[in-house]
Amino acid sequence: MLNRLKWVLIGALVLFVAGTIGISIFYVKQKPAPVMEKPEASKEEPKKEMPKEPAPTELEEVDVSDWKTYTNEEYGFEVKYPKDSKVGKVGKSIVIDLPLTPGTNLTGKYLKIFIDNKNREECSDPAPEYTRAPGTLEELKSERVIFNKVVFYKKEVGDCGMGSCIITQYFSTYHNDYCFHLTFELYYSGVIYTPDYKGPLKEFDEIKEKETFNKMLSTFRFFK
């Protein structure tokens, strides 16, 4: 009797152990495998493209042998100008009154030079008051140009009113903690007649007149 009870208990124990092992195996198989997280790829900041240096403005056979030179010892710069020009000062600006081509509707031609303490960033916009071309919605941005190894920022604006028009080229460059502003102005009449109405005036050659400005910029240099 005792032996029979002994074998019954052993059988029950074996069944219990086998069942426990089976259940454990079942749950292990049902448990999802751990998901391995992929390491995040290092995020590299996109490389900023450096602005390309503009090509120097090249002029064909610039002959200024008979021109005069304006020299400013205080700020250390000089620029040449046509011999028949008049140099003066209006407020803090140096004004060079340039000769006109006779027989055209051109009424005024000037170079104005002004120096202030704007920082380098502010100096990169030679005419911040003009964000758009007058009378249009066209955005007006400054461009970089080089004359005589000097980098300038340039804007050009044209406007008319009451029979008179003006084309203005704004240039600025930064040097020795100063901002140098060079403004070229072309004034012309919208009425192509002489004051005494004896005959029509010729339309001035805008490209040719602007060449004078480019020639002057090609002579601008700092010596300090």
Give me the CATH number covering residue 126.
Answer: 3.40.1000.10
The answer to whether position 188 is within a domain reads yes
Q: What's the DSSP call for residue 218?
A: T
Q: How far apart are CA 65 and CA 79, in angstroms?
A: 13
Q: What is the mean pLDDT of residues 139-159?
A: 94
- Residue 41: inside a domain: no
Residue 111 structural domain: 68-222
Reported as half-sphere exposure (CB side, CA atoms, 13 A), residue 103 has a value of 1
Within a domain: 20: no
* Main-chain dihedrals φ then ψ at residue 122, nearest 5 degrees: -65, -35
pLDDT at site 52: 57
- Does residue 211 carry a pLDDT above 90? yes
Average pLDDT value for the chain:
82
pLDDT in tens, 160-191: 888 889 999 999 999 999 999 999 999 998 76
Alpha-carbon dihedral angle through residues 106, 108, 111, 117, given to the nearest 10 degrees: -130
Residue 133 belongs to a domain: yes
Contact of 207 with 186, CB cutoff 8 Å: no
**102-118: pLDDT as tens digits:** 889 999 999 999 999 99
Domain tally, the chain: 1
Confidence grade of residue 3 (pLDDT, cut at 50, 70, 90): low
Q: Indicate whether 60 belongs to any domain.
A: no
Question: Which pLDDT belongs to residue 114?
Answer: 97
Residue 38 within any structural domain of the chain: no
